[in-house]
Amino acid sequence: MFSVGLTGGIASGKTTISNLFAKLGVPVIDTDVISRKLLQPGELAYRQVRAHFGDAILDTNGEIDRRKLREIVFSNGVEKAWIEKMLHPLIYQRSHDAIIANSRADYVLVVIPLLFETNFQSLVDRILVVDCPAEQQIERLIKRDRIDEKLARKMLAQQLDNSARIARAHDIIENRSETADLESQVAVLHQRYQQLASA
């Protein structure tokens, strides 16, 4: 089963691009969606987070308050490491299962925002990186999430920089401006991946 990992910095355009692949009929597996599902009541990760942080981590519906969890990850390195050690192998396994479940497709696209940071390279056969200048990411982040520039810069500073991602990419999509022709870039890559998958 041929799989392509799509990664890129925060607000670089991963979701926008994965939607274009989906429009071409490519199954899309999103590790962010898997991570959110894993934290739902009834899941092992939910029980572990609740046991670790206590009921203070829950919202009024008894669900894990993702904002609180994000704040902890953001401000406490030890807790961040605990959450990642618990959650990442579960995300990896679920993603792997989802790839297998789509084995009738030519190939699948797996969106992995922290592909390099989490060492998920072994999950995919090929790596596609969205290239977007930091200033553009900040602009999009402020606009989409209605946050201030200081926070946007802080979020970006916690990630790998784009050049480190580009250096390890097999393929690159340029999403530098509003006029980036994403559809034709995706169409070219789609053809390449179909050929690689059938080779």
Instruction: Say which residue the tokens 């904002």 belong to.
Output: 67
Report in angstroms how near the CB of residue 156 gets to ligand ATP at its nearest.
Answer: 10
d(CA 35, CA 90): 8
Q: Quick one: 122 or 179, whose CB is closer to ligand ATP?
A: 179
Residues 176, 179, 183, 186: what is their CA dihedral angle, to the nearest 10 degrees? Answer: -20
Tokens of 9: 């910095």
Beta strands in the chain (DSSP E): 2-7, 28-30, 107-111, 126-131, 171-174
Q: Quick one: 52 or 154, whose CB is closer to ligand ATP?
A: 154
Q: Quick one: 1 or 147, whose CB is closer to ligand ATP?
A: 147
Q: Which stretch binds ligand ATP (CB under 6 A): 45-53, 63-71, 174-182, 186-194?
A: 174-182
Q: Among residues 2, 4, 8, 128, which is the contact residue for ligand ATP, using CB under 6 A?
A: 8
User: Is there a contact between 16 and 181 (Cβ–Cβ < 8 Å)?
Assistant: no
Q: Quick one: 147 or 197, whose CB is closer to ligand ATP?
A: 147
Site string for ligand ATP, 84-123 (x = CB under 6 A): -----------------------------x----------
Q: Among residues 31, 102, 175, 185, which is the contact residue for ligand ATP, using CB under 6 A?
A: 175
If phi > 0 it is left, if psi is from -120 to 50 it is alpha, else beta; for residue 45 that is alpha
Which among 103, 92, 83, 82 is positioned nearest to 5, based on CA atoms?
Answer: 92
Site string for ligand ATP, 117-156 (x = CB under 6 A): -----------------------x---x------------
Q: Which residues pair with 64 in a beta bridge?
A: 58
Contact between 11 and ligand ATP by CB under 6 A: the answer reads yes
- List contacts with ligand ATP (CB under 6 A): 8, 10-16, 113, 140, 144, 175, 178, 180, 182
